[in-house]
Amino acid sequence: MVVPVFRGAVKFAYRFLVNNLVTLFLATAMTAIAWTLHRLGQDNIVDYSWWLLQQKPVESLGVAFFVALVATVYFMSRPRPVYLVDYACFKPPAPCRVPFATFIEHTKLINKDEKSVQFQTRILERSGLGEETCLPPANHFIPPNATMEASRAEAQLVIFSAIDDLMKKTGLKHKDIDILVVNCSLFSPTPSLSAMIINKYKLRSNIRSFNLSGMGCSAGLISIDLARDLLQVHPRANALVVSAEIITPNFYNGNQRSMLLPNCLFRMGAAAILLSNRRREARRAKYRLTHVVRTHKGADDRAYRCVYEEEDGEGHSGISLSKDLMTIAVEALKSNITTLGPLVLPMSEQLLFVLALAGRKLVNPKWKSYLPDFKQAFEHFCIHAGGRAVIDELQKNLSLTAEHVEASRMTLHRFGNTSSSSLWYELNYIESKGRMRRGDRVWQIGFGSGFKCNSAVWKCLRTIKPTVDGPWADCIDRYPVQIPEVVRL
């Protein structure tokens, strides 16, 4: 019992000293300067300054001008802060609910191949999804009504509902929106979804609008990054970011197992996010965006094809998920955190990582590499709820506790894989539990086709109280729930 306590004390002392080394040095230096000035006395300091100005006016004014110039350049070149004012998530209506029994019954009626039905049943049993996930109205038909009209109807339902909720929460007016970024990977109609929003809300004619497609489940953070870059260029601007995935046109009606997985995991959802660089918004904003790190492994053929839209041998189109998906995801994550680590990790973790790397290079190549403890950098983790395997793998590789991945597991259970919007359902779960405090740091991790791993880091600006509305309002008290390894159907 004594040894673990001693180790804990040593770890605490090490982290405190290394992480606060600069602060301790500056505090010591300032104390020494203050003591020296105190000994000189106020009169001597004033007299010396006046004498210096009289005897060397050019040098004195030059130094003052240089200091003023450096200060001006520093403040003018600083990136504009990007605030997350608020966000809203679409809550599917009860009639769209798809219990396991309904899903299996419909699958049997649609697909006559017994082996395919059994395969989907086994996937659903181990998926981590619950009984309340939802599919769009068109998917409740037998066979599914995958028409353009039905797809547009789903897009209007999920996107307009999320935007309406956001406008109600923030008091946002249509004339206040300067930038619009929409991402939806698999449904890209003409006119675009961004044009659909502009038409619905009668947005300004000079709005800067963008529509991203084909970028997978990580596209939500790509949209955040694009909006951030635009807010650096356009002062005093508001950006509306909409993340959604339209399920209606993407039901796979074949028997290839790698293409049947999305049928079992993907469910309807959307999120609308209001970003702003206006200083006055800092008073009511929830978060400030501190970092976005994007990693793209598309140069590797295996990574490029691990999530691939194609036709099977019978001509049925769908999304094929490779068996190498998790291996590629972990590789992409390692590349991503190699860039993110120096930006967010405390000095104690960076020093241990460098020492371990040097030891492997100079002493023994068989030394185990040191995995930095990202729990020292973040209080909350929002891992893309792509499936139970994704969450399990990241929990293991990042050495996270069950509480750290609770938001991801519960989001998967309640809403399923809602693609790029899942990160916002997870963030709302943390808020609804009353766990978000001022100063807390949040790490959002998204994975997507291509293959991409993207990270966004947010800092909470105020303690957030649980709200009476939102997607978790009527069920948050029931969570967390125990999710069995296998649900027998």
The residues carrying an active-site annotation are 217, 296, 380, 384, 413, 417
Query: In 3D, which of 255, 267, 284 has the Cα closest to residue 217?
Result: 267
For residues 391 and 410, is the Cβ–Cβ distance under 8 A? no
Q: Is the peptide bond before 95 cis (omega within 30 degrees of 0)?
A: no
Per the structure block, which two tokens stand in for 140?
């409740």
Rounded to whole angstroms, how far apart are CA atoms 435 and 15? Answer: 25
Rounded to whole angstroms, how far apart are CA atoms 227 and 219? Answer: 12
Would you give the DSSP letter of residue 321?
A: E
Per the structure block, which two tokens stand in for 210?
């963008």
Rounded to whole angstroms, how far apart are CA atoms 36 and 41? Answer: 9
Helix (H) / strand (E) containing 89: strand 82-89
Per the structure block, which two tokens stand in for 209?
């609008």
Query: In 3D, which of 253, 261, 270 has the Cα closest to residue 193?
Result: 270
Q: Is the peptide bond before 262 cis (omega within 30 degrees of 0)?
A: no
Query: In 3D, which of 460, 487, 451 has the Cα closest to residue 333?
Result: 451
